Chain A
Amino acid sequence: MKNIKSKRNSYKLFFNFFFLIFIYCNPIFALENESQSIENNIKINDNWKIILNKASGKTIFFHAWGGGKNINSYIKWASKEVMQRYNIKVNHVKISDTSNVVARILSEKTAGKHKNGAVDLIWINGENFSFMQKHKLLFKDNWIMNLPETNNMDFISNPSLLNDFGIPTNGMEMPWGVSQLNFYYDSKYLKYPPKSAIELKKYIINNKGRFTFPQPPDFVGTSFLKQVLIELIEDKSVLKSTYVKGRHEDLLTPLWTWLNDVTPFLWRKGINYPTNYMSLTQLVADREIDIGMAFNIAHASNAISEGRLPKTIRGYIHKKGTLANVHFLSIPYNSSKKAASQVFINFLISPEAQIKKQNKDIWGDPSVLSMNKMLPEWKNKFKNLSKGIATLSNEELQLKLEEPHPSWVKVIESKWIEKFGSSK
C-alpha cells in the first residue's frame, strides 16, 4: 500500500517537474501572461518544496570575492540564517579574482568532470558571465524564474536585471545588487573635484603623483579605463557591438593618448599601481592620493563609519554620468548541489536579506527589488533606510552609463598591460 502511494506520488512529482520546466523555461509564460502567473505561483510552491527537500543537509561552496570585510561578514550572516532555516551549510570561498574560478570550471569541463564540480555558486558579471555562457558552463536557462522571491523583482520596467553588459542573461544568473562607479575626495583639502575625463587629466598633470587607479585587470581599474573611453569616444553606440580587430582598433586611440599624457604624472609615476579599490581607501586616508573610486556607492561612508577614512570625505560622479551595472549570482553546470544553491540565492534576494545588504552600516549595496512589487511593510522599511554621509542620493546617481560589450574588456585589459603594465 505504502509502496503504491509513494509510486503514485513520484509519478506526480515527475509529471509536475516536466510541466514546470516547460512553463518556466519559456519566458513568455513566466513573464507576460498575468493569469497564468497566479497559477504558476502555486506550482512554484510545489516545485519549491521539492527543491527545499533536496537542499536540506547540503554543503555548498560559494566562490565570491573576499577582499571586502563588510561583504564577508554579510555573507557570513546570510550563511548562518540559511543554516538555521533550511539546514544548508554555506562555505564562502574567498577569491581575489573571479576569472580564476571561471578558469577552474572550464578546466573541469575540459577534463570531463561534469558532476561534483568544485564550485556551487559564483558571484559574477560582465565578461566572466559572457565567457561562461559562451562555453556553456552555466546551469539551464531561466532557472531564476523558479525562485519564489523573484516575484519582488520588476523585469519589465528594469531590463538591466536581465541584461549583463548588454548581453541577455537568459535567466541564467540572478541579480543580486546594483553598483555604479563613484569617486570620493576629502572636502577639507579639495574644493572642486574634477568631474570629467578632460578635467581629470588637467588635475592629474597639475597635481603630480596624487591620482591612481587599481592595476588592470582588476575590476575597478578596468572599469575606470572604460569610463574614460566612453567619455572620450565620439560614437558611443559602437561600444554596444562586438569588438572587431582591425575595424575598431583606432577607436581606442583617444584612451591611449589620454593615458600616455597622464601616466607619468600618476602616483609613483605609473610604475606601481594599487591592487584593488580597497587599497585606494588606505591611500586616500594617508593622503598619498586625492581621489578614490569604488563601485559600491556606500563604500566611502562605510569606511568613515569604520574609522578608516576621515569624516570630511564626500562622494561625486562625473558630469556625463558613470558606468553602472548589476552584479549577479550564478550556478555552474557541474555543481551537484544546485537545489541548495537556489535556496541560498532565494534567501539572498528576499526583502529581508536585501534590506540588510542596503543598510549603510552593513554593506550599503542597493537592492535589486522593486518597490511596487514588495509588500507594503517592506516598502516602508526600505524607504526609511538612511544613507551615509559620503553616499550620493538616487537623484545624484541618475546619470548612468551603460557598460560596453564584454568583448571590449579583454582588449582594453591586454592592450593596457602591453602598453603600460610591463615597462619597456
Chain B
Amino acid sequence: MKTKYYNRLLKFILFLFTLIILSPTFIGFLGVLFPAFGYFPALGGNYFSLNFFNDLFLIPGIKKSLLLSLFIGFFSTLLALFFSQLILLYIFNTKIFYYLKIIISPLVALPHITMAVGLLFLLSPSGFIVRALSPWLTGYDRPPDFYLIPDEFGLSLILGLVLKEIPFFLLTSIAALEQFPANKLFNVGKSLQHSNFSTWCLIIFPNLYNKIRLVIFIVMAFTSSVIDMALVLSPSTPSTLSIRILQFYQSTETNSIFIASNLALVQVIIIIILMLTWKLIEMIIKHNYFFLFSIKFLPRKKYFLEKYFFSLGLFLIFLSILGIINSFFWGIGNNWYFPNVYPETYTLDHIISFFNENKVIILNSLSIALIVSILSIFIIIIWIESCDYLSINKPYLEFLIFIPLFIPQISLLIGLQTFLIKVGFQNYFFSLIFIEILYVIPYCLILLGPALRGINKDFLSIGASLGKTRIQRLFLIKIPLIVSTLLTSFAIGIIISLSLYTPVYFIGAGRITTLTVETLNLATSGLRQDLGVATIFQIIIPIFILLIVAYLNKKFTKWVF
C-alpha cells in the first residue's frame, strides 16, 4: 500500500520533471508561433493573420536565402556522411582504426567557429595557401582580386560544416559499430570477394544507418540553421535564412519581430522539408529493387573512385588541422603582411593581453559549462533510475529529450527571448543555464543512456541479495562500473556547452558573454591577431578537458571487464 503511494508520487514527480525540462521548448515554440501569425498584443498585433506569410516573398532576396538554407542543410549533411563512411570503410579493421577515436576527439571538441576561422585564414585571397604560393609561383605581390571564401553559393559554408561534421559522424559511427558484430559482417563481405566499398554499402551501412539516423537528422537541423559559422562563411548579399532572421530580429522597425518570427517558423518548415526529402530518398534506396540493382551493378573489385574520394576525405581533415595551426600562428605573430608565409616577429603579448582582458569571460564560460554538465548528468541519472524503478520503458519519452535539437536554435530562442522579456524575468545566469541544459542533455544521454542500461543485471541482483538498497546499489555498483563513460559524457557536456553560440547570444543578451560569442565578435571585426588568440583558447580548453578526463579515467578505472 505504502509503496503504491510512493510509486504514484514518484511518477508524478517524474511527470513534473519532464514538464519542466520540456517547458522551454514548448514556450519557445509558442513564442515564435503566435507572432508569426501577427499575434503579439504587447507590440500592437491583436489579431491572427496570414499577412506576414503573404508578404514573405516581398522581402528582397528572400528566395535566395531560403534556397541557400535548403541547399546547405542537405548537402553538408550528405557530404559529411559520405566522407565519414568512406574514411571508415577504408581503415576499418586496420591498426589506424583503433587510433582514429583519439585523433578525432579533439576535432569533435572544437567549436564550429574555430573551424570557420581556420578556413578563413587558409583560403582567403590573403590567406595561407595564396601566401605559400606567392610570389614565386603565382607572381602576386599583393592578394589577387579573386576569392574562394565566402562564395556566392554557400559552398565555403558547406565545406566548413562538412569539415566539422565528419569527425562527429565518425565518432558516432564508431560507437554504433560496437553495437553489432560489424567485424564478422565485414569479413563475410570480404570472403564473398567484395571490395571494402561494396561490403560497406551492402552489409555494414544498412545496419549502421539505423543506429545513426537520429544523429543525421540532428546534424541536418543544425546545419540548415547554423548561425555562428554562417556569419563568417556564408555570402552576405543576401545571407542564409538564419542570418536574415537574426538581422530582422535586431532591427528597430516595429514589425520586424513579426517578420523574424515568421521567418523562424519558415525555418522550421525548411527543416521538415529536408527531413521528408531525406526520408523519401531513404525509402527509394530501401526499396528491394534498388537493393538488387546495386548488388548487381556495384563492382566487386576495387571501386576506382574510392581511392580518390578517400584521399579527398583525408585531405579535408588535413585542411582543418592546417587551418587550426594557422590560427595559432596568427595568435603569436606580429607584422605579418602579404605575401610573407610566416610572421616577421613573434610575441606572446596578444595572448597575455587577451587573457588579462577576458579573464572574466573565460571564467564565465568554464563555470557555466561545469554547472550545466554536472546538472545534465545528474538529471540523466535520476531520470533513468526512476524510469527503471517504475519500470517505464517507453522510447518516445527519450525522444522528447531530443526535440530541442530538431527545432532550429534560432526559432526556439527568439520565441523564448520574447517570452522572457514579456514576463520580465531578469536572472540571465539562471535562464542561460536552464536553456543550455536543454542542449547538453541529449548529447550526454547518447553516451550515458546505453551504458547505464547495459550494466549486467547479475551484479545488481547480487548487490540486492546482500541487502543493499537501490541508492546504495547505484553508488556502489552502477556508477563505479560506468565511471569511464560517465567522465566522457561529463567532458562532452562541458565541450558542448562551451561551443554553444546562439543560446548565449539570445539568452545572455550581452550581459553574459562566453568565449565563443567573443570569438565571433572578433571574427566579424577582422582583427586576426586577437581572433587567433581567441581560437587558441578555444582549442586549448577543450583539449585540456579531454586530457584531464583521460587522466581521471586511468586513475579511477582500476579494472576492466
Contacts and interface: CB of A to CB of B under 8 A. Distances in A.
Contact of A418 (B60, B142, B257): B60
B238 A97 contact: no
A279 B235 contact: no
Given A67-B525, A274-B526, A422 B421 contact: no
Nearest to B142: A287
Main secondary structure of the interface of B (DSSP, over half): loop
B357 A73 contact: yes
Contacts of A273: 236-237
Interface stretch (B164-172, B332-340, B404-412): B332-340
A50 interface: no
A237 interface: no
B93 interface: no
B511 A91 contact: yes
Given A94-B521, A279-B524, A279-B526, A271 B152 contact: yes
Given A99-B251, A111-B421, A210 B43 contact: no
A420 B235 CA distance: 13
Interface string A99-113: 110111011101111
Interface stretch (B143-151, B369-377, B457-465): B143-151
A97 B526 contact: no
Contacts of B511: 61, 91, 93, 118
Interface string A266-296: 0110111111101111110111100000000
A308 B527 contact: yes
Given A73-B357, A208-B145, A282 B528 contact: yes
Interface string A352-390: 000000000000000000000000000000000000000
Contacts of B524: 67, 96, 275-276, 279
B235 A422 contact: no
A72 interface: yes
Contacts of A276: 524-526
B68 to A, nearest CB: 11
Interface residues of B, number: 49
Interface string B226-259: 0000000001111000000000001110101100
B19 interface: no
A52 B56 CA distance: 52
Interface in B467-525: 509-511, 513, 518, 521, 524-525
Contacts of B152: 271, 423
Interface in A168-213: 208-210
Contacts of A63: 510
A69 B125 CA distance: 25
A275 B230 CA distance: 13
Given A110-B43, A422-B238, A286 B334 contact: no
* Interface size grouping (class) on chain A: 35 or more
Contacts of B424: 111, 113, 116
Contacts, number: 138
B338 A112 contact: no
A323 to B, nearest CB: 21
Contacts of B44: 110
Contact of B251 (A103, A268, A418): A103
Interface string A238-282: 000000000000000000000000000001101111111011111
B299 interface: no
Contacts of A278: 525-527
B145 A272 contact: no
A95 interface: yes
B337 to A, nearest CB: 6
Given A209-B145, A215-B236, A272-B237, 19 more contacts: A69-B530, A91-B511, A97-B250, A99-B251, A99-B252, A103-B252, A108-B421, A111-B424, A112-B42, A118-B426, A118-B509, A210-B145, A271-B152, A274-B526, A275-B525, A286-B142, A287-B126, A310-B337, A421-B61
Interface of A: 61, 63, 66-69, 72-73, 76, 91, 93-97, 99-100, 102-104, 106-108, 110-113, 116, 118, 128, 131, 208-210, 215, 267-268, 270-276, 278-283, 285-288, 307-308, 310, 417-418, 420-423
17 contacts: A67-B521, A67-B524, A99-B250, A102-B252, A103-B250, A104-B421, A107-B257, A107-B418, A108-B421, A128-B252, A131-B252, A275-B526, A278-B526, A283-B526, A287-B337, A307-B335, A310-B337
